[in-house]
Amino acid sequence: MLRLKSSRPRLVTVEKRSRTSLVLKFEPFYSFFDKETDDAKGKPYGGILNEAEADTSKTLPTPDDRKRFDQAKQKAEDEWRARVLAMQAEAEVPIRKPKKASENASQIECIEFGGWEIDTWYAAPYPAEYSRNRVLYICEFCLKYMNSDYVAWRHKLKCAAKHPPGDEIYRHESVSIFEVDGRKHPVYCQNLCLLAKLFLGSKTLYYDVEPFLFYILCEYDERGYHFVGYFSKEKRASSQNNVSCILTLPIHQRKGYGNLLIDFSYLLTKTEQKTGSPEKPLSDMGLVSYRNYWRLELCRYFLELMDGDGHKKDGLSVKQISEDTGMTADDVVSALEGLRALVRDPQTQLYAFRVDLDYCRQYVTKWESKGYVRLKPEALAWTPYVMGRSNAVNFELGPPISTIAPREDDETKVHEDPASVVDREGCTRR
């Protein structure tokens, strides 16, 4: 039996400088349980297992074990591949043949986004481990991309985001718009650019998002703010482009959201007391959308400006229209030509306006009859972005940032004669 040392103090006599003092000295006390715990520290697994049970020499994988593991892994991959092929056959989805041009070509055919399966239009430079899958899973709130439905389901349970990062600068009914700074939220903006590349073939910028502001259009319900579309613009004040890239997801097209985004970009431009234009060249769908918006905006402008007899007493000019609408003079002229409202005197070679108000009313009435969502300027709560001195030096003095690839015919002309490709403003196209 173990004997416990007494914890009672012991008197000790100490002599110092011919003086006798009484000092209480305590002997160290060891409890039975502390001593047993110290002994257990030296045993494997804290003494829970005996030496035979703690022996790991028999658990090391042998070459036969590794061989059986490789066989099981190959069998599981074959079963999964057969399952995917069966699902494709049932859904009658054409199987994309691997491209011979590049072994690392993206195999993404559709994305799972907010409960929708959306077919992609172009390839995006996602990492290789995500690009080799047919379906890419993307969170509709934080835009994180995943390569399996199980990972996406687990992420949905844990994702705390219910709206885009940044500031909500516009809200009207169920529509909200957020302003996101590419410098403050680089991961979200990079994921957004990769998502946009799946539907914009001419987009060339994915990771250098710091010089841009992103405006995210969302639909609101009790589950959160659902991504609809976006547009981006440069931060620098000297840029003449009020839109760098613009996108509406295919599941939200034909609802007027593209027109709403364009109208909102010009609302910001007018708030800055500037004129702006989208970055050129425009895609085919972008060109159709912008031409329709420019004509619609001029029709509304003429209807509000003209009196009952169809005349304006103070006169009218392209410059005045540009200042009132926020559109550049080139875009105003393009819209006037589309409305056939710009005529030229063959004798004096001067131009004049010839506005058909009946046609303008029909154009506006036809658009409003579709019941598309309209922009409410009073709901905007926003001040223009002001760059710091250090950032302004870097961006203002640098070359223009191009986010759209030139068309193939333009590239051919540049290689043949770089001075021959000049846009309407007299500047060589980037």
Q: What's the per-residue H, E or C state across 120-173? A: CCCCCCCCHHHHCCCEEEECCCCCCEECCHHHHHHHHHHCCCCCCCCEEEEEEC
What single string gives the DSSP state of each residue in 356-396?
Answer: -HHHHHHHHHHHHTTT-----GGGB--------HHHHHHHH
Tokens of 327: 């559109």
Query: Is 279 assigned a catalytic role?
Result: yes
Please report which residue ranges of 272-328 form alpha helices under DSSP H: 284-305, 318-325
Look at residue 65 and give its three-state secondary structure.
helix
Cα 319 versus chain centre, distance? 36
Look at residue 193 and give its three-state secondary structure.
helix
CA–CA distances in Å: residue 370 to residues 228, 254, 256, 302, 366:
19, 10, 9, 21, 7
Residue 413: φ, ψ to 5°: -65, -35
Active-site annotation holder among 279, 323, 337, 396: 279
- Interstrand relation of 175-181 and 19-25 (parallel, antiparallel or unpaired): unpaired
Strand partners, 128: none
How far apart (Å, rounded) are the C-alpha atoms in residues 391 and 236?
9
DSSP state of 60: S
Tokens of 336: 């006037």
Cα 25 versus chain centre, distance? 73
**How many C-beta atoms lie closer than 10 Å to residue 197's C-beta?**
24
- Which distant-in-sequence residues (6+ apart) come within 8 Å of 383 by Cβ? none
C-beta of residue 424 within 8 angstroms of C-beta of residue 295: no
Residues annotated catalytic, as ranges: 279
